[in-house]
Structure 1
Amino acid sequence: MELGPLLIGILAAVSLGGIAFALMPYLSGEVRAEQRQDQLTNRVAARENASVQRTAASRREQVSKSLKELEQRQSARTRVDLATRIMQAGLSWPKQRYYLMSVGLALLTGFAALLMSHNPYVALGGLLVGGLGMPRWILAFLTKKRIKKFVNEFPNAIDVVVRGVKSGLPLGDCLRIIATEAADPVRTEFRHIIESQTLGLSISEACERLYQRVPITEASFFGIVISIQQKAGGNLAETLANFSRVIRERRKMMGKIQAMSSEAKASASIIASLPFVVAILVYFSSPDYISLLWTTFHGKFTMLISGFWMGMGVMVMRKMIRFDF
């Protein structure tokens, strides 16, 4: 009977202790301190997020402005003059030398056409082909050959820049290393970049001019990357490493396309050369029979029409087997 009040007292004390323990944080101000700390933490995080968003927005705005400026500059340089075409071919000729070569080729082809046909109209056609067509074809052939060499060596030059930037070298020193140790025509083009810097241009402007001398997508991308990095910042080594990998993958894809289209190119070459081969064989077997094609009016007219349609067929086949990407 005497244990009842004792147990009741113990239970009451335990209850009061539990209530006091539960209410103690609120009475001592710990809950308010935690709430204020959470509010301060949330404010700091919100400020940091807002700062990051402002920085990202500012960087995107700078990149968009840089891209617009580069697009405007490249659109202004779409028209290529004769001096630029000569420079793209890797020649250091003045315009007068090009004109003299055109006149010489025109006289040579016109005289050869006159000797073979004894027709002044054919000789006039030879003059036009030699004076207007052959010099342009020579420049286009040299430009294509030079661009092919540049594309093969350009990834190695970018790798030199990547390794130099990662090791702590400035971008200008990396470009100087390429200008002295890379293979032509990459060495020559980067030497032009260094010379442009010496004349007072910035690195981004000098790299943008690379596209004028080497009109390919890779050169344009390189100028854009350098220009954006100079204005907006960023990890240049990582960007150029990815760019080098893309160039190598494009070159691999080009090799695969050439391998897959080699059969079609061989077939097109055989089909295009077959009429000439047959005409030569017929001429050796019976020259009087085939000579009617260039000794009579009807034969000449037939050759003219046949040559036109054959040229159309060659152009169509060339378009079908040519892949640009």
Structure 2
Amino acid sequence: MSIQTLALAFLAATAIGGLAWVFIYPSLSGQRKAESRRASIARSDAPARQAEKTQRSRREQVEGSLKELDARRKKEKSVPLTTRLAQAGLGSWTPQKFWIVSGISGAVGFVLAFVIGGSLLGAAVMAFGTGLGLPRWVLGFLKKRREKAFLKALPDAVDVIVRGIKAGLPLFESIKVVAADSPEPLRSEFSAIIETQTIGMPLGEACARLYERMPLPEANFFGIVVAIQQKSGGNLSEALGNLSKVLRDRKKMGEKIKAMSTEAKASASIIGSLPPIVMLLVWMSTPDYIALLWTHQIGQLMLVCCVVWMTIGVLVMQKMINFDF
């Protein structure tokens, strides 16, 4: 046999072996089955990976929204007077009207203190207190009273929105129902959301601005839930239902804390009111004995020091029995 014949036979055998390796060996070794199994596993994992990617994207959106709200809150260190008037329910007032009323209050306090028989310095101090302190105290009192009324009605309003969404109404129409049937101040705040959205602002941002007019954590929760749902989607009725439960639980916790701290508040009130009550009783029984406190220079100094230290004690006790949650 010649060398050429052997070479041809070797090349033919090599070609046949290569073809067998390519087409027959995968089937015999199970490699093809393994590849098909890996492909099927990859296809079955594709929805899970997509869901994980969607969840990660939604979590990033939530973190971004929270960071944005936190940054906005930090920027608003000083609240303008216009915003404070709106928070107190005096949105129709202008800052000029507030300053005019403050000036009139200060002038009335000055005249009353001067007529009663006080000195010029005492009348000036009285005018300062009634002109700057009293209007701001009234503004804070109106703001807190309005916030309490808002918190009282907010869980029921969220439940109305949840029932409307489950019945097939859009979120905007459900908010309209709340704005039409809820008591004040909830009616005016949700009406402001509707008006803001009507002029072109997205509904999520309009709800997020509720916190600017009503600076409460509960209002912030509502704005965050709606803003996140508008950005990333999801079951809004379930999210608002959970929010309603959280609001009611916070309300229960607040009432429980209030009940537990009532004894401490009563003790603080008794301790803080004892010195002026004793002073009044002594003045009613022996006025000449206690009159040295405001007729003698050392007595006046002692009286001022007592007032300062009593004020500090009252503020410390108030700080100890007030709880933020």
Q: Find the aligned partners of 1:127 and 1:115 in 2 and give their Cα distance.
A: 13
Q: Match of 2:243, SS? A: helix
Q: Find the aligned partners of 2:68 and 2:277 in 1 and give their Cα distance.
A: 55
Q: Find the aligned partners of 1:286 and 1:66 in 2 and give their Cα distance.
A: 67
Q: Find the aligned partners of 1:295 and 1:140 in 2 and give their Cα distance.
A: 36
Q: Find the aligned partners of 2:176 and 2:36 in 1 and give their Cα distance.
A: 55
1:1-325 equivalences in 2 (<5 Å): 35=34, 37-91=36-90, 92-325=92-325
Q: Which has the higher mean CA deviation after the structures are superposed, 191-200 or 293-302? A: 293-302
1:3 is matched with none
- Uncovered stretches (5+) of structure 1, i.e. residues with no partner: 1-25
Q: Deviations over 1:196-217 (max 9, x none)?
A: 1111111111111111110010
Q: Deviations over 1:16-61 (max 9, x none)?
A: xxxxxxxxxx9x99x7886565333212023233322222222222
Cα separation, partners in 2 of 1:99 and 1:110, compared to 1, 3 Å: same
Report deviation, 1:111.
Answer: 2.2
Q: Find the aligned partners of 1:169 and 1:310 in 2 and give their Cα distance.
A: 58
Q: Find the aligned partners of 1:46 and 1:252 in 2 and give their Cα distance.
A: 44
- Uncovered stretches (5+) of structure 2, i.e. residues with no partner: 1-24
Give the % identical residues: 47
When the two structures are superposed, what TM-score results if normalisation uses the length of structure 1? 0.87
Report deviation, 1:114.
Answer: 2.4
Report deviation, 1:221.
Answer: 1.3
Q: Deviations over 1:209-263 (max 9, x none)?
A: 1111100101111111111110111111111111111111111111111111111
Report deviation, 1:167.
Answer: 1.6
Q: Find the aligned partners of 1:70 and 1:311 in 2 and give their Cα distance.
A: 36
Q: Match of 1:93, SS? A: coil
Q: Match of 2:77, SS? A: coil
Q: Deviations over 1:259-312 (max 9, x none)?
A: 111111111111111111111111111112222211121211111111111111
Q: Find the aligned partners of 2:310 and 2:262 in 1 and give their Cα distance.
A: 21
Q: Match of 1:90, SS? A: coil
Q: Find the aligned partners of 1:320 and 1:72 in 2 and give their Cα distance.
A: 29
Cα separation, partners in 2 of 1:277 and 1:219, compared to 1, 3 Å: same
Give runs of ≥4 in structure 1 deviating > 4 Å.
31-37
Q: Find the aligned partners of 2:291 and 2:158 in 1 and give their Cα distance.
A: 60
- The CA RMSD over aligned residues, in Å, is 2.1
Q: Find the aligned partners of 1:120 and 1:218 in 2 and give their Cα distance.
A: 48
Q: Match of 2:85, SS? A: helix
Q: Which amino acid counterpart does residue 173 of structure 1 have in structure 2? A: E
Q: Deviations over 1:54-86 (max 9, x none)?
A: 222222222233333333333333321101000
Q: Find the aligned partners of 2:37 and 2:66 in 1 and give their Cα distance.
A: 43
Cα separation, partners in 2 of 1:264 and 1:66, compared to 1, 3 Å: closer
Aligned length: 300
Q: Which amino acid counterpart does residue 67 of structure 1 have in structure 2? A: L
Q: Deviations over 1:151-188 (max 9, x none)?
A: 01000111111111112110000000000001111111
Q: Which has the higher mean CA deviation after the structures are superposed, 137-146 or 31-40? A: 31-40
